[in-house]
Structure 1
Amino acid sequence: MPKGTRGDAAPWFVLSTTFAAVLIAVVAFCASSTVTAQSVTPSPRGQPESLIQVPTTLSEGAEGLAETTIQAVDWDYWLATNPNIVAWVTVPGTAIDHPIVQATADDPTYYLTHDVYGNWNRYGCAYVDAGCDGLQGISTVVFGHNMGLSTNSMFADFAKFSDEAFARSHPLIIVQTPQETIWLRVSAAEIVEGTEQAKRTNFADIDEMRAWFAERFAQADVKLENDEEAERLITFVTCSYTTYDNERTLVYAQPA
């Protein structure tokens, strides 16, 4: 059953139409393409390799955190490779370990069909919505493909957060930027129809954002915890294939 629309939300059908066009191109391209999911994620991240300590209070109860460090991003290396990279997201215990880019305003969905190197690639690259101020605003929306096809490429594992047990055992999301490391806790997950007006990036102030998210949290399919005093919200969006013919899974995360 569709959930109602709210506020000044931007319609998902714009993204849905773009995804439909991309999938049509995929069908035509698959027979001859040698591009693989593995080619989407750069490896290694760059040199010199360094590690970031995960605070013990954040690693408790999270799968995939037997080790208390994660690999740091070499920003000199990656910004020289592609200045559109704004962050790197890691979800311990999953295959999510990817750069996040933001295209220019005149071609905001460029990375739906291009990898981090700017090459055509049906798996694309995780990217920040064009309406966001990078990762600096109080509400950031990040998109990434889930192509199905029995792969765990790009944001496919975010679709698994509609299962509460999975969400509770993978509560930590780490976002590195050139300026900081952002430690996030999964707050909620929601499955919406692709045409639902659920995305919102612009708010008059932080109180308006908190009130808006309180509504989203109340109707979410998976509810873990809503920090009513959170100073930012990051939403990770991917396609999923459980309830609707055209659906998205939204994973909401707040500062840990």
Structure 2
Amino acid sequence: MAAFLGAVVLAGLALILAGGQSIGPCLVSEFRYQQARDAHDAMDAGGSSEKEARKWDDPNQAAWLSVDGTPIDYPVAQGAKQEPGFYLAHDLWGQPSQVGCPYLDWRCSVADTHALIYGHRVGTTDLQFSPIANAWDHGVFDALGAATLETRTDTKSYVPCFALKVDKSYEQIQRFSMDRDELRSWLEDMLGEASAASPRAQDLCRHATKALTLATCASSQAGQRERTLLVFVGTSA
């Protein structure tokens, strides 16, 4: 908890330096995420059914995401067609927040062959998707572990495959509802553009059954166009 409080203080300072006008709601959001995290950890340790209910008590929560080797450990919201970027400016509970909430692209779901999740980079802190903002660099990529995506009924693990830095208009990542052959071909095409990749990347792409992409800003300065795409693959049915 002490480490979390330190991170929240740093987040507040980062928002001040960035000209943030409403820091309080952002810190409230992060405290609520920590409470959800505590309930999640308690359940994983054999908690009560009451704690399990609290862990999934928000209808907007589609999954829980964690990435080994990073502090990323957050609930994931489901984006909606009516307001695709809602969770860029709101937390899981719908309250205004500059740190937002990781969320699935409205065109996909956790069950899709490709799940695309967006998350903010929060200055120089380790909050939200900040720890993977430079994953396009080999030194950062090589330190990453598996991503775990947990739902109410299932838990799946994904292996880091490759990462790249692209313009925010990059259309290739916007592919969903592919069959396995299409998925594998799509992954191999993007691997050719990657700046960082696993030594096993080609083999992972050829045997992939699902893909998970985490997307965030590549720059710590707001308003820039470059995005980091970190692609994980699942190879089991």
What TM-score, normalized by structure 1, do the two folds share? Answer: 0.72
**Where does residue 42 of structure 1 map in the other structure?**
33
Unaligned runs of 5+ in 2: 1-15, 46-50
- Write the deviation string for residues 48-102 of structure 1: whole angstroms up to 9, x where unpaired: 81337xxxxxxxxxxxxxxxxxxxxx5521332x111111111123221111011
Residues 118/205 of structure 1: CA separation in 2 closer, same or farther (3 Å cut): same
| 1:174 Cα deviation from its structure 2 partner | 1.4
Residues 146/199 of structure 1: CA separation in 2 closer, same or farther (3 Å cut): same
Residues of 2 paired with 1:44 and 1:87: CA distance? Answer: 16
1:231 matched to 2:206: no
What CA RMSD, in Å, does the superposition of the two structures yield over aligned residues?
Answer: 2.6
Query: SS where residue 44 of structure 1 aligns?
Result: helix
Identical residues among aligned pairs (%)? 24
| 1:27 Cα deviation from its structure 2 partner | 9.6
**Where does residue 110 of structure 2 map in the other structure?**
135
Residues 75/221 of structure 1: CA separation in 2 closer, same or farther (3 Å cut): farther
Residues 99/168 of structure 1: CA separation in 2 closer, same or farther (3 Å cut): same
1:79 matched to 2:56: yes
Residues 245/101 of structure 1: CA separation in 2 closer, same or farther (3 Å cut): closer
Residues of 1 paired with 2:182 and 2:34: CA distance? Answer: 40
Residues of 1 paired with 2:35 and 2:23: CA distance? Answer: 24
Task: Name the stretch that deviates more: 106-115 or 202-211.
Answer: 202-211
1:1-256 matched pairs, under 5 angstroms? 30-37=20-27, 39-40=29-30, 42-45=33-36, 46=39, 49-51=42-44, 75-80=52-57, 82-132=58-108, 134-148=109-123, 150-224=124-198, 225-226=201-202, 227=204, 228-241=206-219, 245-255=224-234
Residues of 2 paired with 1:28 and 1:151: CA distance? Answer: 12
Higher helix proportion, which one?
A: 2
Higher relative contact order (CA 8 A, sep 6+): 1
Residues of 1 paired with 2:67 and 2:129: CA distance? Answer: 10
Is the Cα contact below 8 Å between 1:131 and 1:201 reproduced in 2?
Answer: no
Residues of 1 paired with 2:107 and 2:40: CA distance? Answer: 32
What TM-score, normalized by structure 2, do the two folds share? Answer: 0.77
Which amino acid is 1:177 matched to? T
| 1:29 Cα deviation from its structure 2 partner | 7.4
Which amino acid is 1:248 matched to? R
Query: SS where residue 183 of structure 2 aligns?
Result: helix
Query: SS where residue 82 of structure 2 aligns?
Result: coil
Query: SS where residue 165 of structure 1 aligns?
Result: helix
- Write the deviation string for residues 10-61 of structure 1: whole angstroms up to 9, x where unpaired: xxxxxxxxxxxxxxxx999724542345733512332781337xxxxxxxxx
Is the Cα contact below 8 Å between 1:230 and 1:254 reproduced in 2?
Answer: yes
Query: SS where residue 185 of structure 1 aligns?
Result: strand
Which amino acid is 1:127 matched to? Y
Residues 186/48 of structure 1: CA separation in 2 closer, same or farther (3 Å cut): closer
